[in-house]
């Protein structure tokens, strides 16, 4: 790609596209796994595009990353070790490190180019990747969870859509392997796509998760740069229910929150009836 397109076109679904005016193409590269592009836009600030899908947008990434990290970590009474699957941009790691109990984060990202591009061009998310508590492994997470001897208090699956290399992260075998790595009282959270546009992904994911974990919940957030704005996350645990066990003073102690709050923790589990009925959540 040698010239900046005037408009970036993102596919929300085969029958819905969004076109965003682009000020500048910052960088583009074809990695071993995907096409990686960085654009500057007025609408969303700087955006990271993987295989044509917006994965990180400067102006709203805080919503996704705060919600993926804080909802499960606040639920756990004392999280120390966290496995982040995917998330090579660093945004989830940045949020996890806000919890003072954390002493180790294992980041398992299949594509080192995502980390390199993020370090170079997306400092607002990659800013904590060099923190000494963070250990990065470049590997297929499905392989990592089979062989590691580490155990974790929380597993956060910060995946792309379930196509290509990311598809295995939505599989039953992967969830089984993750459960085996959780310490007692451990929690798992993952982005779980759009309940409005992606029922073919959301429905089997929740059905599968319920065969692996006794406690499975859906929570939601507004993510304007993702399709439909209504984005869902799956919360799984063997013993802790995220809705009822919240410590407000631990939330108040988290620095620089822009979306998450004690009120949002409760509200994000209020699922509209049409979603609740469709997915049994």
Among residues 60, 109, 128, 198, which is the contact residue for its own copies, using CB under 8 A?
60
Report the alpha-carbon distance of residue 246 to residue 31 in Å, rounded.
41
The SS3 assignment for 38 reads strand
Tokens representing 109 are 């990202």
Give the span between the Cα atoms of 174 and 39, in whole angstroms.
33
Alpha carbon distance 89, 80 (integer Å): 22
Which of 123, 214, 224, 280 forms a contact with its own copies (CB under 8 A)? Answer: 224
Q: In the complex with its own copies, which residue's Cβ is closer, 85 or 201?
A: 201
Nearest-approach distance from CB 264 to its own copies, in angstroms: 5
**Number of Cα atoms under 13 Å in the Cβ half of residue 109:** 23
Active-site residue, from 89, 153, 158, 198 = 158
Residue 200 contacts its own copies per CB under 8 A: no
> Closer CB to its own copies, residue 112 or residue 278?
278
Q: Give the binding range for its own copies (CB under 8 A) out of 68-76, 143-151, 208-216, 260-268.
A: 260-268
Strands 230-237, 215-222: pairing kind? antiparallel
The answer to whether 146 contacts its own copies (rule: CB under 8 A) is no
Paired residues of 56 in beta bridges = 48
Question: How do beta strands 7-13 and 16-30 pair?
Answer: antiparallel
Can you name the residues that pair with 189 across neighbouring β-strands?
156, 235
Closest distance between its own copies and the C-beta of residue 63, in Å?
7
Please select the residue that binds its own copies; options are 25, 167, 230, 246, rule is CB under 8 A.
230
Judged by beta carbon, residue 4 or residue 261, the one nearer its own copies is 261
Minimum Å gap between C-beta 71 and its own copies is 13
Closest CB to its own copies among residues 208, 264: 264
Sign of CA dihedral 82, 216, 185, 266: positive
Residue 220 binds its own copies, judged by CB under 8 A: yes
Alpha-carbon torsion (221, 71, 121, 38), positive or negative: negative
Binder to its own copies among 77, 164, 272, 280 (CB under 8 A)? 272
The one-character DSSP state at 12 is: E
- Residue 190 CA neighbour count, 13 Å, CB half: 24
* Region near its own copies per CB under 8 A, out of 68-76, 144-152, 178-186, 224-232: 224-232
Residue 175 CA to residue 269 CA, distance in Å, equals 22
Map the footprint of its own copies across residues 83-142, applying CB under 8 A.
Answer: none
Cα distances from 48 to residues 11, 125, 165, 225, in angstroms, run 14, 11, 18, 11
> Would you say 80 or 98 has its CB closer to its own copies?
98
Active site residue 158: yes
**Structure tokens belonging to residue 278:** 């469709």
- Restricting to residues 9-28, which ones interact with its own copies according to CB under 8 A? 12-21
Q: In this chain, which of 185, 199, 204, 229 binds its own copies, going by CB under 8 A?
A: 229
Which positions are annotated as active-site residues?
158
Site residues, its own copies (CB under 8 A): 7, 12-21, 41-43, 60, 62-63, 196-197, 220, 222-224, 228-230, 257-261, 263-264, 266-268, 270-274
């Amino acid at each position: 790609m040698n010239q900046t397109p005037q408009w970036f076109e993102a596919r929300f679904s085969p029958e819905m596209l969004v076109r965003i005016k682009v000020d500048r193409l910052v960088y583009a590269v074809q990695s071993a796994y995907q096409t990686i592009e960085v654009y500057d836009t007025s609408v969303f600030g700087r955006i990271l595009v993987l295989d044509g899908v917006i994965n990180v947008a400067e102006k709203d990434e805080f919503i996704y990353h705060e919600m993926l990290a804080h909802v499960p970590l606040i639920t756990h009474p004392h999280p120390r070790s966290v496995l982040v699957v995917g998330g090579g941009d660093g945004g989830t790691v940045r949020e996890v490190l806000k919890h003072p109990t954390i002493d180790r984060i294992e980041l398992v990202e299949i594509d080192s180019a995502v980390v390199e591009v993020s370090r170079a061009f997306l400092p607002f998310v990659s800013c904590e990747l060099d923190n000494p508590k963070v250990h990065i492994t470049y590997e297929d997470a499905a392989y990592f969870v089979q062989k590691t001897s580490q155990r974790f208090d929380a597993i956060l699956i910060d995946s792309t859509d379930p196509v290509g290399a990311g598809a295995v992260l939505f599989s039953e075998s992967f969830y089984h392997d993750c459960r085996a790595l959780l310490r007692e009282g451990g929690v798992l959270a993952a982005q779980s796509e759009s309940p409005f546009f992606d029922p073919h992904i959301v429905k089997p994911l929740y059905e599968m998760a319920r065969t692996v974990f006794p406690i499975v919940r859906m929570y939601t957030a507004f993510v304007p740069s993702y399709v439909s704005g209504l984005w869902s996350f799956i919360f799984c645990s063997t013993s802790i229910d995220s809705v009822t066990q919240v410590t407000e003073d631990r939330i108040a102690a988290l620095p620089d929150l822009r979306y998450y709050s004690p009120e949002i923790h409760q509200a994000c589990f209020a699922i509209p009836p049409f979603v609740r009925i469709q997915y049994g959540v």
